[in-house]
Every structure is written in C-alpha cells, then in structure tokens.
C-alpha cells in the first residue's frame, strides 16, 4: 500500500466539476511534482486529501486511512498550503507552540524546526513584520513540527529568494532520502524538474500524465533530435523532402519523431556536413504544454 | 481534549488584543466603581449590589469570543487549526470551553477587584457596604454570566465569519435591540441572550425595572438554551463547510 492513495476523487462546486475521477499514488522515498494550469484542480485535490474539503466522490487516504481518521494527523502528515496564514500579532514561536499543543507534539520540537528553517533569530518577532519568504519558512516549520512521514506542499517556493529555493530543494531531497513521501505542487517548472522523481500532471480536473519524470518527459511524441548542419537551409530542405519538419531553436534545429541515426542518414543522403547531432529530451515545460494543451502553468 | 484546551488558552494569551481588552475591562469597571463610590452619597441595598455587579468583563469576553473565532476565518488560521485537529466539533468545543474559562477567571478577578476598591472607599466614607453573603450572591452570577458570554461569543464568531460584521452586529444587538425590547416588550426582551437572560441571573436590570426580569433559575435555563442553540448551529456549519 502506497503511503498516499487517491482513488476516483471527484469534487463538484455547484455547476463546476473541479476534480474528475482522479487516481494516483505517492510513493515513499520519492518527491512527486503535482502540476497543472490555473484552475486545474490542484489545490482542491490537496485540500480534499487533507480533509479540508469534502469530496463529492472517491477517497484520499494515508496508509489506508482518511486524514481525519489518523491517530496523530499532523504527526503523520505535514502540509503547507498556498494561503499559509498566521495571526499577525502572534510570534513565530508562539504560533508553533499553539500548533504543537494542538497536535500533541513535544514542545522542544518548536525550537528544532525553527532552527531547521533558519528562523531562530526572528522567532520572537510578531509575524506581521515577516517578509513573504519568512512566512513561507514558518509554514514549512509548522509542517515539519510533527516530524511527519508524508509532506504535502502547495507552492512552497512562493516568496523564497534563490538561496531559499535552493534550501527548499535540499530539504525536499533530504526528506525523501529519509524515506518520506513528498508531494509538491509548484508553478516553477524548471525548479520542479530539478527537485522531483515523479510527476503528476492534471488539467481541467482530469489526469493528463503520471509517472517517473523521465517517462513523462519522453511523452508519446517519440524521439527528439537536435541538429546543426553546415548548411542549415539545405538540411531543412532535406528533412522536408523526407517528409519531416523541424523547428528552429537558436542556431540549431529540433526534429521531432526522428532519432539521431535517422537524421544522420537523411543528412548523409543529401551529402550534408553535420556540426552537431544529439538526442534531446523534452523539457518539463515542453511536456507540460503538450499535456495541457498549451495552458499556462500555475 | 485537554491538549486542545491548552492550545486555545495559549492562543488567547499570546496576542495583544487579549491583554488590551482585559486591561480595558478592569480599568473601566474600576473607574465606574470608584466614581460612583466617591460621588454618590446614599446607597440602598440594590444600589450596592448594582455597584459591585458593575463588572464589564461580560461585554469584553463576548467580543473576545467573537474575535477569537471569527479571527480564525479572517486570518485564515482555521486551516492550520483543522489540520492540527481535524475533528471540527472538538475544535469548536475546546474554543467554547476556553473562552468560558477565560470569562470566569477574568470576571472573578475584576469582580473581586471592584469589590475590594468599592468597599474600601465606602468604608472610608462611613457608608454601608455589602456583607460577605451578599457579595457571594453577586460574584457567582457575575462569573457565570461572563463564562456564558465568552462561550456564546465563540458560537457567534463561528456563525458570522466576517469579524467586523460580527462585532458591529453584537454591539448593535446588545446596546440597541435588547434594551429596546426590554423597555418596550419586556416579555420578549427578558429572554434575549446578551442582556435579557443574564440580567435575570444577576437579578439587576441596569437603568430598568428588575421586576420585568426572569428569575434566576429560568434565566439560567434560557442561557443554557441559547448556548446549546448557538453551539449546535455553529457545529453544523463548521462541520459541513469546505475550507477552500
């Protein structure tokens, strides 16, 4: 049984079906990216997973139990949601003390997680004086308070500066390295590509792709080859004559659906000299647009 | 439940709003008692009871309760609260009990303070004061009312999520609607939750006719009824609501 299992999850708000029959697993020891355009249903899915939203149909469970049925919910699942909010008049330390008391976590965890996220020096300042990045770190500290086996993070890099983002990436890898299941929703595709092992892509509430990152990047469009010929115009013509097309990318051409060997044979047949011939993986951004029909990530 | 209660009491203690309102309740109550005890020359037994029952904690703890619960929506801390304790009924119950306890403790402190100050001033002026039995008969309705209003405030805050609307609504209801009802239609007004029934419990209708009020036991039952109604409605709303 996977630590997190979502089965046929659906949620309807009035006439709007925000999530439709979504099913996926999150594996232990892996970081899973949860991607989709604005309004795709990512936040609704995460909130349904955490018992904040009542699903219209389907289930979302942690080791077979709904979030609200877990013995120590915040000790088993840590969550950072997009609208992480705090009482502005309360200090970070007191915010975490309240959560530690509610979740029945040892009080000494408060100082440990404050140190983990680098907020020790600001712990007694009121949260209303915090920058967005500091608030995000505090939200992450709250998620780590119960030392949970599952981490769910909705846009956790929002407001973080580059060192903060690098720290986040390291933290995610460290958590996964300790055997924990991490689910991260983000609109920063390049950032996600560096951080995740698996990817789930949804659009309009429906599943578009899921699996290991390399598999999703491979997509169903076949191989992609990057080529630079001494005479680019002649190369272009040779590809067209062979029934293929290419797209220009800076000084090179990108050929979809052909392997480097096949492109090489076409160039050889036209007696063209090649300066570069290499397989090229799709970027996560390219895969995302292909899967979601060109909708912008959010 | 005790962990939740500790957390709620910690929430109360760790904001300046709480300390500000507690200070305001204490100062206002003391000010009224000091001025009355210094300036008035004749005190009937009812006057003395009114003087020592002049504890403003009830109003302030009512507002604190409203702010404490509606503030969870305003600052969106309801999400982290529900993540830490997904049983929303237990969460609401803990908050209701915490504000009831806060009301009782604060009212006890304020009532004892105004009794001490009032008695010292009246004694120094050779004016009559209340005996211990009469003082005790003022204390328990005062603290029971404050505990009730703290709990009721939480229920109101759960029902009216907009903090400003909830506070303004409570102030208008308690300062305009209820006194008007008590004055014009006392048969209805004496059952109202913030002024009517609690005045029956304390046995004093400020600026009005005590005879229009409910007796203590019916007043207490009406207050329990209001609390049950408020808690039931708040629990139903909180449990069914999607936290989007």
Tens-digit pLDDT profile for residues B33-70: 899 888 888 888 888 888 888 778 888 899 999 999 99
Is A12 in the B-facing interface, judged by CB distances under 8 Å? Answer: no
Is A68 in the B-facing interface, judged by CB distances under 8 Å? Answer: yes
Kindly provide the ipTM of the predicted complex, given to two decimals.
Answer: 0.83
pLDDT-derived band at A220, boundaries 50, 70, 90: low
- For residue A127, give the 3-state DSSP assignment: helix
Size of interface A-B (CB pairs under 8 A): 82
What residues have CB less than 8 Å from B206, skipping those under 6 apart?
B50, B199
CA distances in angstroms from B109 to B48, B50, B56, B104, B199, listed in the order given: 19, 17, 12, 9, 20
What residues have CB less than 8 Å from B149, skipping those under 6 apart?
B58, B59, B61, B62, B65, B103, B194, B198
- For residue A117, give the 3-state DSSP assignment: coil
For residue A294, the model assigns a pLDDT of 56
- The 10s digit of each residue's pLDDT in B68-101 is 999 888 888 899 889 989 999 999 999 999 999 9
For residue B214, the model assigns a pLDDT of 86
Residue B125 has pLDDT above 90, yes or no: no
Residue A55 has pLDDT above 90, yes or no: yes
CA A247 – CA A256 distance, rounded (Å): 9
Is B215 in the A-facing interface, judged by CB distances under 8 Å? Answer: no
For the ranges A81-90, A103-112, B95-104, the lowest mean pLDDT is seen at: A81-90
B5-25 mean pLDDT: 88
Is B79 in Cβ contact with A52 (below 8 Å)?
A: yes
- Global pTM reads 0.82
A106-115 mean pLDDT: 94
Is A39 in the B-facing interface, judged by CB distances under 8 Å? Answer: no
For residue A213, the model assigns a pLDDT of 79
Choose among B76, B85, B242: nearest Cβ to A83: B76
Strand partners, A62: A4, A65
Residues of A within 8 A of B21 (CB-CB) are none
Nearest to A99 by CA among A125, A126, A79, A71: A79
Strand order in the sheet with A31-35: A77-80, A150-154, A181-185, A31-35, A198-203, A206-212
- The β-bridge relationship of strands A206-212 and A224-229 is unpaired
Residue A219 has pLDDT above 70, yes or no: no
- The 10s digit of each residue's pLDDT in A158-205 is 778 888 888 888 888 999 999 999 999 987 777 777 788 998 988 888
For residue B54, the model assigns a pLDDT of 75
C-alpha count within 13 angstroms, C-beta hemisphere, residue B85: 27
- The 10s digit of each residue's pLDDT in B151-184 is 999 999 999 989 999 999 999 999 999 888 888 8
Q: How far is A101 from chain B (nearest CA, A)?
A: 5
Residue A90 has pLDDT above 70, yes or no: yes
Residue B234 has pLDDT above 80, yes or no: yes
What residues have CB less than 8 Å from A13, skipping those under 6 apart?
B242
* A278 phi/psi in degrees, rounded to 5: -150, 145
Residue A249 has pLDDT above 80, yes or no: no
A85-93 mean pLDDT: 89
Closest-approach residue (CA) in chain A for B17: A89
For residue B132, the model assigns a pLDDT of 86
- The 10s digit of each residue's pLDDT in A119-151 is 999 999 999 999 888 898 999 999 999 999 999
- The 10s digit of each residue's pLDDT in B177-231 is 988 888 888 888 889 999 889 988 887 765 556 667 888 899 999 999 999 999 9
Higher pLDDT, A186 or A260: A260
Choose among A13, A50, A86: nearest Cβ to B83: A50
Q: How many CB atoms lie within 10 A of CB A133?
A: 16
Is A124 in the B-facing interface, judged by CB distances under 8 Å? Answer: no
For residue A265, the model assigns a pLDDT of 93
């Amino acid at each position: 049984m996977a630590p997190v299992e979502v089965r046929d999850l659906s949620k309807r708000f009035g006439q709007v079906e925000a999530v439709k029959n979504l099913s996926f697993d999150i594996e232990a020891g892996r970081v899973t990216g949860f991607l989709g355009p604005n309004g795709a249903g990512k936040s609704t899915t995460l909130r349904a997973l955490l018992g904040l939203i009542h699903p219209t149909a389907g289930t979302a469970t942690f080791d077979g139990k709904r979030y609200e049925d877990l013995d120590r919910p915040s000790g088993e699942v840590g969550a950072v949601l997009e609208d992480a909010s705090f009482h502005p008049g309360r200090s970070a330390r007191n915010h975490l003390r309240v959560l530690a008391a509610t979740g029945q976590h040892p009080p000494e965890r408060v100082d440990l997680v404050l140190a983990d996220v680098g907020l020790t020096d600001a712990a007694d300042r009121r949260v209303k004086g915090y920058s967005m990045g500091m608030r995000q770190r505090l939200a992450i500290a709250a998620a780590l308070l119960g030392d949970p086996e599952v981490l769910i993070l909705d846009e956790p890099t929002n407001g973080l500066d580059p060192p903060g983002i690098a720290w986040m990436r390291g933290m995610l890898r460290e958590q996964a390295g300790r055997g924990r299941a991490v689910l991260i929703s983000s609109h920063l595709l390049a950032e996600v590509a560096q951080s995740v092992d698996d990817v789930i892509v949804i659009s309009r509430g429906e599943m578009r792709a899921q699996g290991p990152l390399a598999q999703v990047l491979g997509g169903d469009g076949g191989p992609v080859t990057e080529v630079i010929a001494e005479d680019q115009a002649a190369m272009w013509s040779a590809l067209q004559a062979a029934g293929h097309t290419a797209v220009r990318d800076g000084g090179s051409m990108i050929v979809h659906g052909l392997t480097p060997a096949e492109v090489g044979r076409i160039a050889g047949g036209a007696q063209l000299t090649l300066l570069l011939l290499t397989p090229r993986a799709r970027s996560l951004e390219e895969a995302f647009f292909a899967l979601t029909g060109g909708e912008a990530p959010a | 439940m005790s962990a939740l209660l500790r957390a709620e009491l910690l929430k109360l203690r760790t904001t300046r709003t709480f300390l500000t309102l507690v200070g305001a309740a204490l100062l206002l109550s003391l000010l009224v008692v000091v001025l009355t005890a210094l300036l008035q020359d004749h005190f009937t037994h009812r006057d003395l009871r009114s003087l020592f029952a002049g504890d403003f904690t009830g109003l302030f703890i009512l507002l604190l309760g409203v702010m404490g619960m509606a503030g969870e929506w305003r600052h969106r801390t309801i999400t982290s609260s529900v993540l830490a304790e997904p049983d929303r009924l237990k969460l609401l119950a803990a908050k209701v009990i915490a504000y009831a306890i806060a009301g009782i403790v604060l009212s006890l402190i304020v009532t004892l303070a105004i009794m001490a100050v009032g008695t010292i001033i009246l004694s120094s002026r050779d004016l009559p004061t209340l005996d211990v039995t009469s003082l005790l008969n003022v204390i328990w309705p005062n603290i029971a009312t404050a505990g009730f209003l703290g709990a009721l405030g939480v229920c109101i805050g759960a029902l009216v999520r907009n903090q400003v609307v909830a506070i303004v609504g409570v102030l208008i209801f308690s300062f305009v609607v209820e006194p008007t009802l008590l004055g014009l239609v006392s048969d209805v007004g004496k059952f109202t939750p913030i002024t009517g029934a609690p005045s029956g419990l304390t046995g004093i209708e400020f600026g009005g006719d005590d005879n229009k009020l409910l007796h203590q036991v019916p007043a207490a039952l009406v207050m329990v009824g209001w609390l049950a109604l408020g808690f039931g409605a708040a629990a139903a709303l909180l449990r069914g609501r999607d936290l989007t």
